[in-house]
Amino acid sequence: MPDIYLYNTLTRQKEPFTPTTPGHVGMYVCGPTVYSDAHLGHAKAQVSFDVVRRYLKHAGYRVRFVSNVTDVGHLTDDSDDGDDKILRRAALEKLEPMEIADKYYWSYFEDMTALNVLKPDITPRATGHVPEQIKLTQELIEKGHAYEVDGSVYFSVTSYAPYGKLSGRKVEDLVSGTREDIREEKHDPRDFALWKRAEKGHIMRWDSPWGEGFPGWHIECSAMSLKYLGENFDIHGGGMDLQFPHHEAEIAQAEAAGHPFARYWIHNNMVTVQGGEKMSKSKGNFTTLKDLFEKYDPMVVRFLLVSSHYRSITEFSEEPLRAAQSGYARLRDTMLEVKRRLETAPEGRHATLEGQLKQHVDTFNEAMSDDFNTPEAVAALFNLTRDVNSALTGSVGKETLQAVLDAYLALGGDVLGLFADRSSDTGNPEVIQTLMELVIDARQNYRATREFQKSDALRARLSAIGVVLEDTPQGTRWKIQ
């Protein structure tokens, strides 16, 4: 297995990655609050951790990937104030809260599937884990780190000295923007809710030792990650915007209850708009993935995201998307051309190209082992593509073409997720190639019988879905624009 280094937010440095159980990795990533369609920011978070997961698998680890879905307890204000986001949306759309959660849950996975993000091994939902959250809250009360007031339970921030270690904030400097009445019932305005009493008319409510209520947002991730990954799991991921208070609270809840918790914390940077403003549901400055996919192939969107590092900002605009479109087409077209050439290539090897291939594969792996440096990994694929295209102006033997194709599929496909997975039938390049040959044959037949209207109609229908036909002296070629 290669030595992998990752930037640990806890220590603020790159560290060699060593899992608790050799050969196995337990990884938890904070998922979305499902109250509206996903936007490009969510895609950056999920694609970033999908690539981490894929590279760890590629490096030989068995990975258990757990990513939650928040369907209760995420309030519109971080300081235990405001409405539950799901309930607010339910009122707006005149639907049951669980209808909202399910509607956007499926919408979210539809988008993630289009982006070729692998499904989590476990997708726990907060509403399905209320007993676990109550139990952890009880442990915290027993250990003197939490207290009940009037049916709500708060974590006592000053009872846990390391509070602030992830985000580098000092408890003394923390301010609370909490409303006066909630401030009053907290022993300290900086404390945060583990459990909230349900006021009259609050739909989502559960029985608890403190009366009817609902869990706070932070406690779900501590409870569910500990349940499925054990008390000292390897990697915890999420957006940088979650470092405080969400992740700080997750650490405090787990550690104060006596569980050592996650060892490496990794955070993706933000998708921004208009020069640095975070794309966010609540700010309303977002572009949904569904809207983007109307104009751009989801693989182009994925390519755009992996072209910048997960810890760098991705400023969203049309121009980089168009550049991603042509960049992605260059890689994919060369990969498809190698596939085509393989069918008729003579036996044999191409020593120069094989030397170059090895060099680019090594560079790719070194980049990925250095804190998942996807921009450098993509650059290695482009350099490979340049050398392949240059070699393809001459004759390249079968063995070498096969090695090149395997590299494209392993690095560009399995690791970066840019080509459909080899195991899946949908989007399988071989199936698509055969279908396209059938369509091209049909068009040829129409032309041979001078049925030009029909042949033109076929071409137009293909063009409508972005497939362009080119008639060359060697026959008709196709490509996706």
Residues at the annotated binding site?
30, 221, 246, 250, 281
The least distance separating ligand ATP from the CB of residue 155, rounded to whole angstroms, comes to 20
Residue nearest to ligand ATP (CB): 239
Give 411's DSSP letter: I
The least distance separating ligand ATP from the CB of residue 401, rounded to whole angstroms, comes to 39
The least distance separating ligand ATP from the CB of residue 126, rounded to whole angstroms, comes to 12
Beta-strand (E) ranges in 125-233? 146-149, 152-155, 192-197, 213-215
Give residues in contact with ligand ATP (CB under 6 A). 30, 32-33, 41-42, 44-45, 238-239, 241-242, 268, 270-271, 278-282
Smaller CB separation from Zn ion, 19 or 32: 32
What is the residue type of 77?
D
Smaller CB separation from ligand ATP, 49 or 446: 49
Distance separating the N- and C-terminal Cα atoms of the chain: 38
What is the footprint of Zn ion within residues 57-76 (CB under 5 A)?
none
**Other Cβ atoms within 10 Å of 411 Cβ, number:** 24
The site partner of 72 among ligand ATP, Zn ion, none (C-beta below 5 to 8 Å per kind) is: none
The least distance separating ligand ATP from the CB of residue 346, rounded to whole angstroms, comes to 49
Range in contact with Zn ion (rule: CB under 5 A) among 108-116, 219-227, 301-309, 413-421: 219-227
Are β-strands 264-268 and 271-273 bridged in parallel, bridged antiparallel, or unpaired? unpaired
Smaller CB separation from ligand ATP, 92 or 351: 92
The two three-digit tokens of residue 361, written as one number: 């594969």
The rounded distance, in Å, linking the Cα atoms of 156 and 64 is: 32
Smaller CB separation from Zn ion, 224 or 407: 224
The site partner of 75 among Zn ion, ligand ATP, none (C-beta below 5 to 8 Å per kind) is: none
472 bridge partner residues: 475
The rounded distance, in Å, linking the Cα atoms of 269 and 468 is: 36
Torsion 128-129-130-131 (CA) sign: positive
The least distance separating ligand ATP from the CB of residue 362, rounded to whole angstroms, comes to 31
Binding track over 221-240 against Zn ion, x by CB under 5 A = x-------------------
Binding residues for ATP: 281
Are β-strands 24-29 and 235-239 bridged in parallel, bridged antiparallel, or unpaired? parallel
The rounded distance, in Å, linking the Cα atoms of 467 and 459 is: 8
Smaller CB separation from ligand ATP, 126 or 381: 126
The least distance separating Zn ion from the CB of residue 246, rounded to whole angstroms, comes to 5
The per-residue DSSP string of 415-451 comes to IT--S--TT-STT-HHHHHHHHHHHHHHHHHHHHTT-
Range in contact with Zn ion (rule: CB under 5 A) among 186-194, 213-221, 341-349, 412-420: 213-221
Q: Report yes or no: 31 and 289 within 8 Å, Cβ to Cβ.
A: no
Smaller CB separation from ligand ATP, 41 or 417: 41
Binding residues for Zn(2+): 30, 221, 246, 250
Range in contact with Zn ion (rule: CB under 5 A) among 115-123, 164-172, 214-222, 333-341: 214-222
Phi, psi values for residue 123, rounded to 5°: -120, 80
CA distances from 291 to 40, 179, 219, 330, 356 (A): 10, 37, 33, 24, 40
The least distance separating Zn ion from the CB of residue 30, rounded to whole angstroms, comes to 3
User: Judged by CB under 5 A, which of 4, 6, 27, 30 binds Zn ion?
Assistant: 30
The site partner of 73 among ligand ATP, Zn ion, none (C-beta below 5 to 8 Å per kind) is: none
The site partner of 357 among ligand ATP, Zn ion, none (C-beta below 5 to 8 Å per kind) is: none
The site partner of 53 among ligand ATP, Zn ion, none (C-beta below 5 to 8 Å per kind) is: none
Torsion 96-101-105-108 (CA) sign: positive
Longest Cα–Cα distance in the chain? 86
Q: Report yes or no: 326 and 390 within 8 Å, Cβ to Cβ.
A: no
Binding site for Zn ion (CB under 5 A): 30, 221
